[in-house]
């Protein structure tokens, strides 16, 4: 099933989502999330992860650094949203994402994750400011991929089913 929103409603959603740094899908999901059961919320975030991750890899291959940067950010924040749901902690802002990451680092003693998230946060900023050079972008992608693997592994330690869903497709 799909939903097509056009005209002024679509323009309003896109405008408001961009104002807060979200994609239209993320913004809509965020607004309705409290009305959904927990399993549906996890499925939505898993679907967003898969969507953004596939788009990020495709855009990176096409050397669309600005768009690929933002899609990697979206994929990783979807994973952090899953962890927030699983741990029952807030996950709707940058500071929430850092709080989740600090919690993970404390539990896993994997301090590298702090640097990896900082790198991916730079990728998010690149969407707005376009400062990452083409020759340096592969190292950013490498860090994003490493963080994705680590977050999925962490999710798997909490809920194997959702981790399995993340690695399909």
pTM of structure: 0.86
The string of pLDDT tens digits covering residues 59-95 is: 999 999 999 999 999 999 999 999 999 999 998 888 9
Indicate whether 115 pLDDT > 70: yes
pLDDT for res 98: 96
CA distance 127 to 23: 12
Q: What is the mean pLDDT of residues 111-124?
A: 97
CA distance 133 to 169: 30
Cβ of 59: how many Cβ atoms within 10 Å?
18
| 89 and 112 share one domain | yes
CA distance 124 to 126: 5
Alpha helices in the chain (DSSP H): 7-19, 24-32, 38-61, 65-87, 94-108, 112-129, 137-158, 160-166
| 14 and 46 share one domain | no
| 24 and 105 share one domain | no
Indicate whether 33 pLDDT > 80: no
| Residue 104 structural domain | 37-166
């Amino acid at each position: 099933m799909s939903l097509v929103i056009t005209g002024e409603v679509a323009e309003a959603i896109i405008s408001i989502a961009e104002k807060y740094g979200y994609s239209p899908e993320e913004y809509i999901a965020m607004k309705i999330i409290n009305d959904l059961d927990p399993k549906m919320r996890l499925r939505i975030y898993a679907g967003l992860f898969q969507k953004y991750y596939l788009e990020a890899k495709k855009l990176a291959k096409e050397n669309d650094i600005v768009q690929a940067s933002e899609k990697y950010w979206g994929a990783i924040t979807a994973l952090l949203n899953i962890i927030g749901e699983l741990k029952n902690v807030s996950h709707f802002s940058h500071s929430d994402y850092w709080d989740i990451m600090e919690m993970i680092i404390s539990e896993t003693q994997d301090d590298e994750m702090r640097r990896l998230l900082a790198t991916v946060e730079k990728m998010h900023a690149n969407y707005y400011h376009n400062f990452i050079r083409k020759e340096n972008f592969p190292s950013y992608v490498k860090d994003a991929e490493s963080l994705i693997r680590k977050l999925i592994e962490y999710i798997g330690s909490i809920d194997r089913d959702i981790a399995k869903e993340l690695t399909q497709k």
